[in-house]
C-alpha cells in the first residue's frame, strides 16, 4: 500500500485528474480501513465492499490484484501482486492513447 | 410407536467397555491412531450445515499422505466451494464462497477451519489439543449417539458426536480469531474414512478432476477479465458512504487495487 500511495502522489502531480487510483477493500470494516489510512497518512481513495461483489465481478481470487482500466472502461492491464513496472507501463499506455486522440 | 422405537434402537446397544482412567484422551488417541499409523488417508463425507439461517449441503473428499501431501475438495450446494492442496512445504487453499485464496506454511488449521476434521490436524502434528473430553450420553432407552468428543485448543473447539459404530454423526466447530468467533455446525449424512497402506495407492486414488500440485496450487489470474474486456458495471461505495458507478469514471484511467488488511 505505501508503494501505491507513492505512485498515486506521483500520478497526481504528473497527470492530475486524468488518472484515478481506487483501493477496493475486501472484508475489513470501515473503522479498520480508516485507522490504517490515518496511521499511514494515505490519501488514496478507499472503496469498501460489504460482500465481495466487486471482487467477484472482476474475478479476483488473490490479493492484491490490480486492474488498469483505460478511459474507455476497458481492461488495459490486470495482474495478481503488485508488479509496479507492469502497472506503470499500462498507465503510460493510457497516456499515449489519450494524446493520440 | 414407543415400542417400535425401542426395537429400532435395540441393535445399536453395543456393549461398551468400562471407561479407562483417562477416557477423553484414550478415546481421542484411538481416533487419531487411525490417522497417525496411516501412511495415507482417504475421507469422503456428506453433510448439511446451517449457516446464515439457511441449510447448506456439503460434500467433499480429502486425500492425504505422509509427508504432508494432499488435496481436499468441498462442494457446497453442488457447486465447488473449497479447495486445498498441501505439497509438503506449504498448504494453499481457495475459498470460493468469498473469493479468497490462502497460503499457509505447514499449518493445517485451515482444514479444521472448514470442516471438523480434527484427527487430520492432529495427524499432521500441528496445534496439539489443550484438552480432550468425552461425554457419554446415558439415556433410557439409549440414543443412537453414544459419545460426544470435545477437543479444545487455544483457538478452536471441535465437538464431535459419534455413534456406536464409530461413525461421525454431527460436529460443531468454533474458532476464535481475535474478537471474531466463527461457529459452524454440521450434520453428517455420510462420513467414511479409511487408511491406505501405500502412498502410491494414494497418488493413484486422487479422484478425477483433482490433481496433486507440486509447486503451485491454482492460477489466481485464470478468473480475471482479459485485457480488452469491458469492465463490469459495478457501483463502488466510498468511505464517505456515497455510491459511485464505475461508469462515472469513464474518460479517466482507473487503477483498481483489490486489497485487504486483516
Contact residues, chain B, for A53 at CB < 8 Å: 234
Q: Which of A75, A37, A66, A57 has the alpha carbon at shortest distance from B253?
A: A75
Distance from A49 to chain B by nearest Cα, in Å? 7
| Residue B127 pLDDT greater than 60, yes or no | no
Radius of gyration in angstroms for the set of CA atoms belonging to chain A, rounded to a whole number: 14
Q: CA–CA separation, B13 vs B157, rounded Å?
A: 29
Region B156-165: mean pLDDT is: 72
Is residue B182 in a domain?
Answer: yes
Q: CA–CA separation, B128 vs A99, rounded Å?
A: 63
DSSP secondary-structure letter at B10? G
With contact defined as beta carbons under 8 Å apart, do B75 and B81 qualify? yes
Beta-sheet pairing, B235-238 with A45-48 = antiparallel
Region B95-119: mean pLDDT is: 48
With contact defined as beta carbons under 8 Å apart, do B64 and B119 qualify? no
For residue B29, the model assigns a pLDDT of 52
The CATH number linked to A65 is: 3.40.30.10
Q: What is the ipTM of this complex?
A: 0.91
Residue, of B87 and A80, whose pLDDT is higher: A80
Residue, of B97 and A19, whose pLDDT is higher: A19
Q: Which of B243, B218, B242 has the alpha carbon at shortest distance from A59?
A: B218
For residue B160, the model assigns a pLDDT of 74
Give the domain extent around B46. Answer: 23-213
Answer positive or negative: Cα dihedral of A34, A36, A37, A39: positive
The CATH number linked to B86 is: 2.50.20.10
Q: Give the number of A-B residue pairs with CB atoms closer than 8 Å.
A: 176
Q: Which of B203, B17, B12, B224 has the alpha carbon at shortest distance from B101?
A: B224
| Residue A58 pLDDT greater than 90, yes or no | yes
Give the pLDDT confidence of B199-238 residue by residue, as tens digits: 454 444 444 443 433 333 345 677 899 999 999 999 888 8
| Residue A97 pLDDT greater than 70, yes or no | no
Contact residues, chain A, for B247 at CB < 8 Å: 73
| Residue A1 pLDDT greater than 60, yes or no | yes
The tally of domains found in chain B comes to 1
Is residue B96 in a domain?
Answer: yes
For residue B228, the model assigns a pLDDT of 95
Q: How far is CA B219 from CA B14, B204, B224, in A?
A: 50, 24, 10
DSSP secondary-structure letter at B232? P
For residue B2, the model assigns a pLDDT of 37
Candidate from B229, B236, B247 with C-beta closest to A75: B229
Site from A3, A73, A93 to mutate, B interface, most B CB atoms within 10 angstroms: A73
SS3 at position B177: strand
With contact defined as beta carbons under 8 Å apart, do A16 and A8 qualify? no
Residue, of B41 and A38, whose pLDDT is higher: A38
| Residue B124 pLDDT greater than 90, yes or no | no
Is any Cβ of chain A less than 8 angstroms from the Cβ of B262?
A: yes
Give the domain extent around A24. Answer: 2-99
Distance from B181 to chain A by nearest Cα, in Å? 15
Closest chain A CA to residue B227: A75
Is any Cβ of chain A less than 8 angstroms from the Cβ of B178?
A: no
Q: CA–CA separation, B223 vs B220, rounded Å?
A: 7
Region B120-130: mean pLDDT is: 44
B160: exposed, middle or buried (Cβ count in 10 Å: 0-12, 13-18, 19+) = buried
Q: Which residues pair with B193 in a beta bridge?
A: B43
For residue B255, the model assigns a pLDDT of 93
The tally of domains found in chain A comes to 1
Site from A16, A22, A28, A90 to mutate, B interface, most B CB atoms within 10 angstroms: A22
In this structure, of B12-16, B139-143, B189-193, the range with the lowest mean pLDDT score is: B12-16
Give the pLDDT confidence of B3-44 residue by residue, as tens digits: 333 333 333 344 444 433 345 555 555 554 554 455 556 667
Candidate from A21, A36, A66 with C-beta closest to B261: A36
Q: CA–CA separation, B73 vs B78, rounded Å?
A: 12
Site from A3, A47, A81, A83 to mutate, B interface, most B CB atoms within 10 angstroms: A47
Amino acid at each position: 500500500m505505501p508503494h501505491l500511495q507513492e505512485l498515486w502522489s506521483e500520478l497526481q502531480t504528473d497527470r492530475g485528474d486524468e488518472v484515478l487510483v481506487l483501493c477496493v477493500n475486501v472484508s475489513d470494516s470501515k473503522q479498520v480501513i480508516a485507522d490504517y489510512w490515518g496511521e499511514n497518512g494515505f490519501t488514496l481513495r478507499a472503496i469498501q465492499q460489504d460482500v465481495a461483489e466487486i471482487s467477484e465481478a472482476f474475478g479476483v481470487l488473490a490479493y492484491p490484484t490490480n486492474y488498469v482500466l483505460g478511459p474507455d472502461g476497458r481492461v488495459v492491464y490486470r495482474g495478481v501482486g503488485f508488479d509496479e513496472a507492469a502497472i506503470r507501463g499500462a498507465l503510460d499506455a493510457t497516456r499515449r492513447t489519450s494524446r493520440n486522440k | 410407536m414407543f415400542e417400535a422405537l425401542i426395537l429400532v434402537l435395540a441393535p445399536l446397544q453395543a456393549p461398551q467397555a468400562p471407561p479407562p482412567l483417562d477416557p477423553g484422551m484414550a478415546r481421542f488417541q484411538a481416533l487419531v491412531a487411525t490417522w497417525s499409523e496411516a501412511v495415507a488417508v482417504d475421507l469422503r463425507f456428506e453433510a448439511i450445515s446451517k449457516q446464515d439461517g439457511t441449510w447448506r449441503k456439503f460434500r467433499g473428499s480429502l486425500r492425504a499422505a505422509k509427508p504432508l501431501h494432499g488435496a481436499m475438495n468441498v462442494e457446497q450446494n453442488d457447486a465447488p466451494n473449497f479447495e486445498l492442496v498441501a505439497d509438503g512445504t506449504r498448504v494453499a487453499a481457495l475459498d470460493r464462497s468469498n473469493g479468497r485464496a490462502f497460503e499457509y506454511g505447514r499449518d493445517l488449521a485451515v482444514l479444521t477451519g472448514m470442516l471438523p476434521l480434527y484427527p487430520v490436524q492432529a495427524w499432521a502434528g500441528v496445534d496439539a489439543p489443550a484438552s480432550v473430553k468425552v461425554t457419554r450420553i446415558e439415556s433410557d432407552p439409549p440414543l443412537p449417539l453414544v459419545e460426544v468428543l470435545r477437543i479444545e485448543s487455544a483457538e478452536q473447539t471441535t465437538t464431535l458426536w459419534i455413534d456406536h459404530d464409530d461413525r461421525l454423526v454431527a460436529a460443531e466447530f468454533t474458532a476464535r480469531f481475535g474478537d471474531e468467533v466463527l461457529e459452524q455446525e454440521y450434520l453428517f449424512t455420510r462420513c467414511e474414512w479409511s487408511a491406505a497402506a501405500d502412498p502410491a495407492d494414494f497418488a493413484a486414488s486422487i479422484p478425477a478432476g483433482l490433481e496433486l500440485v507440486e509447486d503451485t496450487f491454482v492460477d489466481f489470474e485464470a478468473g480475471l477479465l482479459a485485457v480488452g474486456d469491458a469492465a463490469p458495471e459495478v457501483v463502488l461505495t466510498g468511505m464517505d458512504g456515497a455510491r459511485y458507478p464505475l461508469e462515472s469514471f469513464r474518460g479517466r484511467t482507473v487503477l483498481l487495487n483489490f486489497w485487504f488488511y486483516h
